Amino acid sequence: MSFVIILIKGALIYGGLLGTAAAMTLAERKVSAWMQLRIGPNRVGPGGLLQPLADGIKFIFKEEVTPDGANKGIFRLGPIMAAVPAMLTIAVIPFAGETTIFGIDFGLLSLTDLDIGLLFVLALSGLSVYGGILGGWASNSKYSLLGGLRASAQMVSYELSLIMTALTVVALSGSMNLREIVEVQNTGNFLDWHCFTPVVGQVGLILFVITTFAETNRHPFDFAECEPELVGGFHTEYSSMKFALFFLGEYCAMTVMACLTTVLFLGGYSVPFWEDAPWIVQVGTFMTKTAFFLFLFIWVRWTLPRFRYDQLMNLGWKVFFPIALANLLLAGAVISLS
Amino acid sequence: MVVVKRRELTFWERIYLPEIFRGLAITFKKMFEPRVTRQYPEETLPTTEVTRGQPRLVVKDDGNIACVSCGLCEAACPAYAITIDGQETERFIEREPERFEINMLRCILCGFCEEACPKEAIFMSDELELADTTRQGLVYDMKRLERPASTLKPRIDYVRRINERW
């Protein structure tokens, strides 16, 4: 019975994740169009809603090109390494508390309840660097190689700040288990959400959001792609479904990072003024909060220009890292004093 | 050598975040402003008599083509798009084209044929759309070029008005 329940939950959560990723590709084009006073895709289906489907079909029927001199095995491994870790991390995100649907106890609405959930997410999102660098290196192209190198350098620099900021939350809630982190914030009073912890919370939230942008290679930190300098970065030589997998990985990583920000700082599934809300309200709340961050990803992309590479490194090492460290220290002081 | 001094940024600008929020506010506002896109195949640009579209041959009200196949437009055409074969006719004007072809792939819509024509037989219409799957399909023969004078009326009047100026 429990096996069936896990299967159902898995199907729901992964269906939701892939659906969100698909919807994000459409949302990206639609929102960018709206911000530039255009209409955006509107020919496929009502209001262009079936555009992701059309894109998917097109990707499947495209010719797959493997460049001469590419390392075939690793070339194939690249997109997989980009997509799989991003999809795996969703497993530990709790979408709602104890859930009972039609009298069947589903337990916590997440795939697993790992005690080191946060560590799991950070480790796997660190692994997704390999997608870029392996793909970039195996393509046997200078642009791809540079893109891969930049991606890895950037991720390594920003991962540090990301982990430091996540540690702040761990210190505040006293656990690495994502469910417990949410439960600490789920008191019915939304001022208990970590983002409302004076100073530490706000600095943490801003740092975390910005570093997730860098971590998922999004504008204004998308040096791995960087069209004007590197053609397409690490996926220059990729075509067809391999290319689509890179994109799927990127959008899945965005979704997971939005979920993670919600869990760590916005109280996950906790509903303001309603401590033990029914699961459907909790899931709705969670999705609303996540949707905001997903929108933020798009919003920022179509507002800010790309940084220069040295500015990126300066920002990572000389600004974010010290602030993250100081913030962690401050969090420690706050906890030990209270 | 020109040395451009960069303006020193104020502290408010150097911490960057407030400016980012300002930018975000601008893009967010733009989302609700009216769109500027024109849905082309459904919504075409309005055409006037000044619109210089593809050349068309005038068919007079009595059903005869106005062209006397003098070959002036053929000679004036800078892109060599026009091909004319003339033949004799019983009508008063004595000559008419047997074959009048415009290769629309070559035509540059310059309007020289219209200017060259002594018989007001060829005019630039307001038809602009040009698409086909074969090259041969875009060599327009007489049947596809002929238009009754009434549909070309605004353009004819306009050209006459312009010509009166000189």
- Where in chain B are the domains? 55-164
- Under an 8 A CB cutoff, do B24 and A299 touch? yes
Give me the percent of chain B exceeding a pLDDT of 70: 99
- Mean pLDDT of all residues in A136-157: 83
Angle of helix A117-127 relative to helix A240-265, nearest 10 degrees, comes to 150
List all residues 6 or more positions away from A286 whose beta carbon is below 8 Å from its beta carbon. A95, A96, A259, A262, A268, A269
The pair of three-digit structure tokens given for residue A60, joined into one six-digit string: 């499947």
Give me the long-range contacts of B114-119 (CB less than 8 A, separation at least 24): B114/B55, B114/B159, B115/B76, B116/B72, B116/B73, B116/B75, B116/B76, B117/B72, B117/B73, B118/B70, B118/B72, B119/B66, B119/B67, B119/B68, B119/B70
The ranges assigned to domains in chain A are 2-52+65-337
DSSP state letter for A319: I
- Mean pLDDT of all residues in A275-304: 87
Cα-flanking dihedrals φ and ψ of residue B41, to 5°? -60, -30
List all residues 6 or more positions away from B105 whose beta carbon is below 8 Å from its beta carbon. B135, B138, B139
Residues of chain A with C-beta less than 8 angstroms from the C-beta of B33? 37
- Under an 8 A CB cutoff, do A304 and B17 touch? no
Nearest residue of chain A to residue B27 (CA atoms): A35
DSSP state letter for B59: E
- Residue-by-residue pLDDT tens, chain B, 166 positions: 888 888 888 887 777 888 888 989 999 998 898 888 888 888 888 888 888 989 999 998 888 888 999 999 999 999 999 999 989 988 888 888 999 999 999 999 999 999 999 988 999 998 888 888 999 999 999 998 999 989 889 999 999 998 887 6
A104 three-state secondary structure: strand
Q: How many CB pairs under 8 A join A and B?
A: 34
Alpha helices by DSSP H, listed for chain A, are 2-35, 51-61, 72-88, 117-127, 129-138, 142-173, 178-185, 200-215, 227-230, 240-265, 279-301, 309-314, 321-337
Residues of chain A with C-beta less than 8 angstroms from the C-beta of B28? 35, 299
Whether the CB-CB separation of A123 and A288 falls below 8 Å is answered with no
pLDDT by residue (tens digit) across B3-28? 888 888 888 777 788 888 898 999 99
CB-nearest partner of B27 from A38, A206, A302: A302
List all residues 6 or more positions away from A105 whose beta carbon is below 8 Å from its beta carbon. A98, A99
Look at residue B80 in the predicted model and tell me its pLDDT. 92
Residues of B with CB under 8 A from a CB of A: 17, 20, 23-24, 26-28, 30-31, 33-37, 39
Query: Sign of dihedral through CA atoms A26, A28, A29, A30?
Result: positive
pLDDT by residue (tens digit) across A67-120? 888 888 888 888 888 888 888 888 888 888 777 777 677 777 777 888 888 888
Predicted TM-score (pTM) of this structure: 0.81
Query: Sign of dihedral through CA atoms A135, A138, A143, A148?
Result: positive
User: At CA B101, angle to CA B92 and CA B145, rounded to 5?
Assistant: 75
Nearest-angstrom CA–CA distance, A103 and A100:
6
Nearest-angstrom CA–CA distance, B48 and A80:
57
Closest to A78 (Cα-Cα) out of A219, A241, A222, A198:
A241
pLDDT by residue (tens digit) across A301-319? 888 888 888 888 888 888 8
Nearest-angstrom CA–CA distance, B54 and B79:
14
CA distances B48 to B45, B51, B53, B55, B127, Å, are 10, 5, 10, 15, 11
Whether the CB-CB separation of A177 and A120 falls below 8 Å is answered with no
Q: A35 to chain B, minimum CA–CA distance in Å?
A: 5
Nearest-angstrom CA–CA distance, B21 and B13:
11
Domain B55-164 annotated CATH 3.30.70.3270: yes
Nearest-angstrom CA–CA distance, A208 and A324:
9
Residues of chain B with C-beta less than 8 angstroms from the C-beta of A39? 35, 37, 39
Q: B18 to chain A, minimum CA–CA distance in Å?
A: 12
Round the average pLDDT of chain A to a whole number and report it. Answer: 85
